[in-house]
Homo-oligomer: A and B are copies of this chain.
Amino acid sequence: MDARTGLPVVGMVGGGQLARMTHQAAIALGQSLKVLAAAPDDGAALVAPDTEIGLHTDLDALRRFAKGCDVVTFDHEHVPTEYIRTLAAEGVKLFPGADALVAAQDKQVMRERLTELGAPIPRWAPVGTLADLVDFAQGETVIVKTARGGYDGRGVFVVSDPAEVVPMIDAGTRLIVEEKVDLVRELSALVARSPFGQVAAYPVVETVQCDGICVEVIAPAPGLSAERALEAQQLAIRIATELGVVGLLAVELFETPTGIIVNELAMRPHNSGHWTIEGARTSQFEQHLRAVLDYPMGDTTLTAPWVVMANVLGGPDGGISVDERIHHLFAEDPAAKIHLYGKKVRPGRKIGHVTAMGSDLAEVRARARRAAQWLEEGR
């Protein structure tokens, strides 16, 4: 408990943009997010005073950090599972817990759990040897993923010749292989679950990827039937409940000609939920805090018929400053909402996002894309 306010202290391991935006939400709840950041210029460290500097791979740093927290949660999935178990055994309250989180940390565990649940997933197998892979592929192009450490398209390989994977197998990298799915588009079903067991579901959204990175999110997913939307929400609720997730769960889905299947799980605020800051009555960041604090969940209703979020990547070097780009964007579109993460611009680096809302989908999408382009390229 924070003696200054009488309110609980939530600590977040990792100081990136998710912690940065969670701090904004914590302020409204009367709190100040405690952050364990890797460096003083991490996005959250720049804006949250109760920041400690330390690595998520340093058990002692995690221990010191947890001392001042009523509950500890995560900005990313990279804290070693065994450290989470150790801290929990020492009495630290961590959400999501290790048993749940490991299904988002380890793609093999995730596929095993989803198989047990009977959730719709691609055909898959663990890969121990080249023979495993050749057997599975039967000459077709397949998807090979590292079990650990993937993020934003890293650790995912489209493999037409199994021999390409030999160096990873030889290096002892734990891998799984999945069939290449006949993909119509990608969706995301975001839910939040509290320790009490209450689950709140956001409207299902469409996510548009480019080079494995999410570039655009459309809420709600255009043309998605009410039945399929409900099916996706119920699937996400069931996964959250069965895995015992506390906090947010993003279920990334493939829509295929015959139905939906689960691609990935994330257990934290997620890029596919950034639209909720202005586009839903309760932002995913507030919802995550409510969940880990066991507060009742907030209203997930949309605030406009269509909400589109576009990620802003660092554009080419040179040209006008980001400050000038903001000037031009705000002059062009007074209703565009921007979120910059306090990062130095590097080509291709995710430096922020923009959100547009309205009643005409084509116009809202065009506005969001134009706004991102202004911030990326200054024109």
Interface positions of A (Cβ within 8 A of B)? 4-8, 20-21, 23-24, 26-32, 41, 45-49, 51, 200, 278, 281-282, 290, 294-299, 301, 303-304, 321-323, 326-327, 330-331, 334-335, 337-345, 352, 357
Contacts and interface: CB of A to CB of B under 8 A. Distances in A.
Number of copies of this protein chain within its complex: 2
A6 B45 CA distance: 16
A186 to B, nearest CB: 26
A345 B5 CA distance: 8
User: Shortest 8 CB-CB distances between A and B: which pairs?
Assistant: A30-B340, A299-B335, A296-B330, A49-B49, A296-B331, A299-B334, A32-B47, A27-B47
A314 to B, nearest CB: 12
A295 B4 contact: no
B20 A342 contact: no
A30 B342 contact: yes
Q: What's the dominant secondary structure at chain A's contact region?
A: loop
A340 B46 contact: no
B330 A290 contact: yes
Given A45-B49, A295-B327, 12 more contacts: A5-B340, A20-B27, A24-B24, A28-B338, A30-B338, A30-B340, A30-B342, A32-B47, A281-B335, A298-B330, A299-B334, A301-B335
Contact of A323 (B6, B296, B301, B343): B6
A336 to B, nearest CB: 9
B23 A47 contact: yes
7 contacts: A5-B340, A6-B323, A6-B344, A8-B323, A29-B340, A294-B327, A295-B330
B46 A48 contact: no
Contacts of A290: 330
Contacts of A335: 281-282, 298-299, 301
**Central interface residue in A8, A47, A48, by most chain B CB within 10 Å:** A47
Contacts of A27: 20-21, 23-24, 47
A342 to B, nearest CB: 5
